[in-house]
């Protein structure tokens, strides 16, 4: 299944009621610090109450069937980042100065760890991929969830009709998110919480639909991001919290 995983850089633009309100930037590559582990770094830049904000999520997962979770860091820009390490059936969590352990099944994935599961799901109608969802910020176990492979359907993108494969995400019996993948397994469209996102090819495309004030603020955030070395922070934390 890993042969279908999209490595490299991805941009998606977020829209609510037809207006662009932000974007995400994701890079997925092998983790040089851990053998047979992949790293997906996600940055979300979003307008909240008229101001541009951002948060980051660094997710490490094992390069094997099911992509078991290895660890993650979640920084919502409000206090210290959340650090989490998965060891066998234990999830070691640090939120601010509080360190605690939760027992989790081996299919536990943080909410923002959806990417490898979605883009590698078999294109088989009604195929179901079940997992246990973990809330990224609180480390609470939210319960069983699943991705369901639905089939090819046409959608309108950039003035053209495109045939894409739909994947639905459920929390229990409740439909939460939907994803549409093209033949190259790029997520061309997603629907979530009243919003929709679209794949765009470049950073410039991700910024171009924002109002000038927001685009300027978002550019500053992107240009300052390399100053934050999340990889080193994750590795340092893991080194001090090995089981």
Cβ-contact 215, 205 below 8 angstroms: no
Q: Average pLDDT, stretch 146-152?
A: 98
238 pLDDT tier (thresholds 50, 70, 90): low
Q: What is the pTM of this model?
A: 0.89
H helix count then E strand count, the chain: 4, 15
Q: Which residue has the tokens 């991805």?
A: 10
- Above 90 in pLDDT, residue 243? no
How confident is the model at residue 234, as a pLDDT? 56
Lowest mean pLDDT, pick from 59-63, 138-142, 174-178, 233-237:
233-237
**Which residues contact residue 49 at a Cβ distance below 8 angstroms, ignoring those fewer than 6 apart?**
none
- Regarding beta strands 98-103 and 187-192, do their DSSP bridges make them parallel or antiparallel, or are they unpaired? unpaired
Q: Tens of pLDDT along 100-132? A: 999 999 999 999 999 999 999 999 999 999 999
């Amino acid at each position: 299944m890993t042969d279908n995983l999209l490595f490299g850089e991805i941009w998606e633009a977020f829209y609510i009621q037809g207006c662009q309100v932000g974007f995400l930037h994701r890079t997925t590559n092998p983790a040089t610090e851990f053998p047979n582990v992949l790293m997906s770094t996600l940055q979300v830049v979003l307008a909240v109450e008229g101001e541009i904000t951002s948060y980051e999520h660094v997710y490490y997962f094992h390069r094997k069937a099911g992509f078991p979770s290895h660890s993650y860091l979640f920084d919502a820009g409000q206090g210290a980042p959340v650090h989490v390490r998965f060891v066998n059936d234990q999830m070691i969590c640090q939120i601010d100065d509080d360190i605690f352990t939760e027992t989790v099944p081996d299919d536990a994935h943080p909410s923002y760890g959806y990417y490898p599961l979605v883009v590698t799901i078999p294109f088989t109608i009604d195929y179901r991929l079940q997992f246990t969802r973990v809330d990224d910020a609180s480390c609470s176990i939210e319960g069983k969830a699943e991705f369901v492979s639905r089939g090819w359907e046409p959608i309108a993108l950039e003035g053209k009709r495109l045939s894409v494969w739909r994947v639905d995400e459920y929390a229990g019996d409740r439909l939460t998110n939907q994803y549409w993948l093209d033949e190259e397994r790029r997520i061309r469209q997603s629907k979530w919480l009243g919003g929709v996102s679209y794949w765009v090819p470049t950073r410039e495309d991700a910024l171009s639909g924002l109002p000038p004030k927001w685009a300027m603020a978002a550019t500053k955030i992107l240009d300052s991001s390399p100053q934050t070395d999340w990889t080193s922070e994750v590795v340092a934390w893991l080194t001090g919290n090995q089981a």
